[in-house]
C-alpha cells in the first residue's frame, strides 16, 4: 500500500478534476489525482471499435464554451466543423418525413407559430436567469414546482409544438422525460448555453469537434501532471476533519489538506466518509440523478446521405432515435452517423436482445436517411448506464423542487471537502465547458484560503 502526502488530493481524472489539479500545481501546490478507471477522461472517451475511431462520450464544442475553447487552444489541439451542408430531416406526428432548411421544423403553420412563440417566451425567461444562481429568480420556487411537461401544457394545447419544444431540453439535453424535471431546471439548461434559441440551433450547439477526439483534452491535461495521476485507484474512504483529510483507495492512501471530489454527484455516495457527511449533503445528494441516453454510432463506406442533399441532421420526437447527425471524422472517407435514444426509449430497447435492439435503432435511422442506413460496416452503442463509474448520461439534474431548495448549497465546501464536476456547473452545465469552469473555480477557492 503506497502512502503519500500532498497539499490537495483530487478524486476523479475527468475534465473537471484534471483542470483543478493543473491550476493548483501551476500555483505551486502539490497534488495527487486518484482515478478509479484504468484511463483518464471519465465521460470523455475515444476508442477504436472494429477499425473506426468513435467518440463514445462527449465530443461537441459550441462557440459560447470559452473555458473549453481556451483549454483546447492552450493544449495546442485543432478543431473542425461538423458537416452541415444540405437539408435536415423531420418526421412529424403524422409520421410524414419532411426535408427542411433552417432551424424551425417543417410543421403546420399554426404549430410553427406556437413553436416560435414558445421559443420567444422561453428566451425571455432564460434571459432573467443567472445560470450560476437560478434559485435567485423571483419565481424560482414556483418554476421549480412545475414540471416542464405541465408548464408546456399550460401554455398550449398544440401537442406537436409541445413535444418538439420539450425535445430540445428533455431528450436532447437532460435526457429525462419532461415530466421528470422542473421548468426551473429546464431554464437553467438553456441559460447555461446562453439562450433557449441556442438549444434549437444544432449548428450552434454542435458546432466543432477536436481532431483526434475530445478525450485529447483530459489526456493532455493528465500528461502535464505526469506521475501525480494514479489510475486504477477507486477511492473507498475519505477521513476528514479540521486538520485535513486521509483518502483511502484500493492501492494507496493520500494525506492532504484538502480533497476535491471530482466525480458525478451520484457517485459521491459510493465513498464512505468518516465522520459521515452532514445531513444537508446526505439529503441533497439523493435528489440529483443521472439522465440516460444511448449514443449510437453507425459507420458506412461513404456518407451516402450527402449524395441525397442531406446534411445528416435529423429530428423527431416520434422516432426511437429522436435526433441524429453526420458524425464523420476529420478527413475520413467513411461516413458516420450518430443517433441518440433517450430515457424510457433507452430502457425499452435494453429489454431486447442486442440484435433486435440494433435492428430497431437502425430502422429508426432509415426513416430519416433511407434503407442504406440499415447496413453499417461498424455499429456501436455507447451505454454509459452500465459504466460503474458514471451510471448514466449525459449528466445529473435535480428532481422537482430540488434546484431551488438545494442548488445554493451544492457547491459550498464542507470543511476540507470540495465538489467539482460538470453536473454542478452554472454556465456550461452538463458540458465539458462547465466541468472546466468548476475545476478552475474550486482551485481558485482553495488558493484563496
Look up residue 174 and give its three cell numbers.
Answer: 437532460
Q: Contacting ligand FAD (CB under 6 A), which of 24, 152, 202, 271?
A: 271
Q: Which residue lies nearer to ligand FAD by CB, 137 or 295? A: 295
108 is in an annotated binding site: no
Taking CB under 6 A as the binding criterion, the range among 86-94, 153-161, 188-196, 424-432 that sits at the site for ligand FAD is 424-432
Q: What are the C-alpha distances in Å from 22 to residues 18, 174, 439, 441?
A: 6, 29, 9, 12
DSSP symbols for 244-299: EEEEEESSEEEEESEEEE-S-GGGGGGSEEESPPPHHHHHHHHTEEE--EEEEEEE
Q: Does 324 bind ligand FAD (CB under 6 A)?
A: no
Q: Tell me which residue of 407, 405, 433 sits closest to 419, measured CA to CA.
A: 407
Q: What are the C-alpha distances in Å from 146 to residues 140, 197, 272, 326?
A: 10, 22, 34, 36
35 is in an annotated binding site: yes
Please give the residues from 230 up to 259 whose contact with ligand FAD meets the rule CB under 6 A. 234-235
Question: CA torsion angle for 65, 68, 431, 80 (degrees, to 10)?
Answer: 80
Q: Does 194 bind ligand FAD (CB under 6 A)?
A: no
Q: Which residue lies nearer to ligand FAD by CB, 134 or 339? A: 339
Q: Contacting ligand FAD (CB under 6 A), which of 32, 36, 152, 172?
A: 36
Q: Does 184 bind ligand FAD (CB under 6 A)?
A: no
Q: Tell the residue number behind the cell numbers 481558485, with chain if given.
A: 444
CA distance 411 to 388: 24
CA distance 79 to 270: 36
Q: Does 267 bind ligand FAD (CB under 6 A)?
A: yes
Please give the residues from 73 up to 92 whose contact with ligand FAD meets the rule CB under 6 A. none
Q: Does 295 bind ligand FAD (CB under 6 A)?
A: yes
Do the Cβ atoms of 265 and 390 come closer than 8 Å? no
Q: Does 71 bind ligand FAD (CB under 6 A)?
A: no
Q: Contacting ligand FAD (CB under 6 A), which of 22, 23, 52, 57?
A: 57
Q: Does 216 bind ligand FAD (CB under 6 A)?
A: no
Q: Which residue lies nearer to ligand FAD by CB, 158 or 207? A: 207
245 is in an annotated binding site: no
Could you list the beta-strand ranges (E) of 317-366: 323-326, 335-342
Q: Does 34 bind ligand FAD (CB under 6 A)?
A: yes
Do the Cβ atoms of 288 and 402 come closer than 8 Å? yes
CA distance 432 to 78: 16
Look up residue 448 and give its three cell numbers.
Answer: 484563496
Q: Which residue lies nearer to ligand FAD by CB, 125 or 262? A: 262
Q: Which residue lies nearer to ligand FAD by CB, 59 or 313? A: 59
Q: Does 382 bind ligand FAD (CB under 6 A)?
A: yes
Q: What are the C-alpha distances in Å from 51 to residues 47, 55, 324, 378?
A: 9, 13, 22, 8
Do the Cβ atoms of 300 and 389 come closer than 8 Å? no
Q: Contacting ligand FAD (CB under 6 A), which of 435, 442, 443, 446?
A: 435
CA distance 387 to 234: 14
Q: Does 327 bind ligand FAD (CB under 6 A)?
A: no
Q: Does 60 bind ligand FAD (CB under 6 A)?
A: yes
Q: Does 64 bind ligand FAD (CB under 6 A)?
A: no
Please give the residues from 2 up to 21 whose contact with ligand FAD meets the rule CB under 6 A. 11-17
Please give the residues from 384 up to 403 whose contact with ligand FAD meets the rule CB under 6 A. 384, 389-390, 393-395
Q: Contacting ligand FAD (CB under 6 A), which of 8, 46, 58, 166?
A: 58
36 is in an annotated binding site: yes
CA distance 55 to 269: 28
Q: Contacting ligand FAD (CB under 6 A), which of 22, 59, 215, 342?
A: 59
Taking CB under 6 A as the binding criterion, the range among 37-45, 219-227, 325-333, 370-378 that sits at the site for ligand FAD is 37-45
Q: Tell me which residue of 305, 344, 345 sits closest to 325, measured CA to CA.
A: 305
Residue 356, C-beta contacts closer than 8 angstroms, at least 6 positions apart: none
User: Which residue positions form the known binding site for FAD?
Assistant: 16, 35-36, 235
Binding residues (CB under 6 A) for ligand FAD: these are 11-17, 34-37, 42-44, 57-60, 234-235, 262-264, 267, 270-271, 295, 382, 384, 389-390, 393-395, 421-422, 430-433, 435
Amino acid at each position: 500500500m503506497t502512502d503519500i502526502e500532498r497539499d490537495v488530493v483530487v478524486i476523479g481524472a475527468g475534465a473537471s478534476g484534471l483542470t483543478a489539479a493543473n491550476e493548483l500545481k501551476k500555483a505551486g501546490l502539490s497534488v495527487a489525482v486518484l482515478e478509479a478507471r484504468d484511463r483518464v477522461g471519465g465521460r470523455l472517451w475515444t476508442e477504436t471499435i472494429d477499425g473506426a475511431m468513435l467518440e463514445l462520450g462527449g465530443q461537441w464544442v459550441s462557440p459560447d464554451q470559452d473555458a473549453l475553447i481556451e483549454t483546447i487552444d492552450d493544449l495546442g489541439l485543432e478543431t473542425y466543423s461538423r458537416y452541415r451542408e444540405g437539408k435536415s430531416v423531420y418526421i412529424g406526428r403524422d409520421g410524414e418525413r419532411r426535408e427542411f432548411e433552417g432551424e424551425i421544423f417543417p410543421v403546420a403553420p399554426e404549430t410553427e407559430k406556437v413553436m416560435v412563440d414558445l421559443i420567444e417566451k422561453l428566451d425571455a425567461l432564460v434571459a432573467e436567469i443567472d445560470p450560476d444562481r437560478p434559485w435567485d429568480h423571483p419565481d424560482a420556487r414556483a418554476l421549480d414546482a412545475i414540471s416542464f411537461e405541465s408548464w408546456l401544457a399550460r401554455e398550449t394545447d398544440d401537442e406537436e409544438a409541445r413535444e418538439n419544444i420539450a425535445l430540445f431540453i428533455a431528450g436532447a439535453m437532460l435526457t429525462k422525460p419532461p415530466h421528470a424535471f422542473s421548468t426551473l431546471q429546464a431554464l437553467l439548461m438553456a441559460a447555461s448555453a446562453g439562450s433557449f434559441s441556442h438549444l434549437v440551433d444544432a449548428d450552434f450547439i454542435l458546432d466543432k469537434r477536436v481532431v483526434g477526439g475530445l478525450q485529447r483534452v483530459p489526456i493532455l491535461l493528465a500528461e502535464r501532471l505526469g506521475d501525480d495521476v494514479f489510475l486504477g485507484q477507486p477511492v473507498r474512504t475519505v477521513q476528514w476533519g479540521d486538520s485535513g483529510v486521509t483518502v483511502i483507495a484500493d492501492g494507496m492512501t493520500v494525506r492532504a489538506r484538502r480533497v476535491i471530489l471530482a466525480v458525478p454527484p451520484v457517485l459521491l455516495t459510493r465513498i464512505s466518509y468518516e465522520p459521515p457527511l452532514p445531513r444537508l449533503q446526505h439529503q441533497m445528494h439523493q435528489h440529483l440523478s443521472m439522465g440516460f441516453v444511448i449514443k449510437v454510432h453507425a459507420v458506412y463506406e461513404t456518407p451516402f446521405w450527402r449524395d441525397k442533399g442531406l446534411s445528416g441532421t435529423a429530428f423527431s420526437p416520434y422516432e426511437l432515435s429522436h435526433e441524429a447527425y453526420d458524425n464523420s471524422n476529420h478527413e475520413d472517407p467513411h461516413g458516420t452517423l450518430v443517433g441518440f435514444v433517450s430515457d424510457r426509449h433507452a430502457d425499452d430497447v435494453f429489454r431486447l436482445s442486442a440484435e433486435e435492439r440494433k435492428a430497431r435503432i437502425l430502422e429508426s435511422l432509415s426513416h430519416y436517411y433511407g434503407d442504406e442506413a440499415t447496413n453499417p460496416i461498424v455499429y456501436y452503442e455507447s451505454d454509459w448506464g452500465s459504466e460503474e463509474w458514471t451510471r448514466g448520461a449525459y449528466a445529473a439534474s435535480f428532481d422537482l423542487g430540488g434546484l431551488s431548495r438545494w442548488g445554493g448549497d451544492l457547491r459550498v465546501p464542507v470543511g476540507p471537502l470540495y465538489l467539482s464536476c460538470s453536473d454542478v456547473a452554472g454556465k456550461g452545465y452538463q458540458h465539458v465547458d462547465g466541468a472546466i469552469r468548476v475545476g478552475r473555480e474550486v482551485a481558485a477557492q482553495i488558493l484563496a484560503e
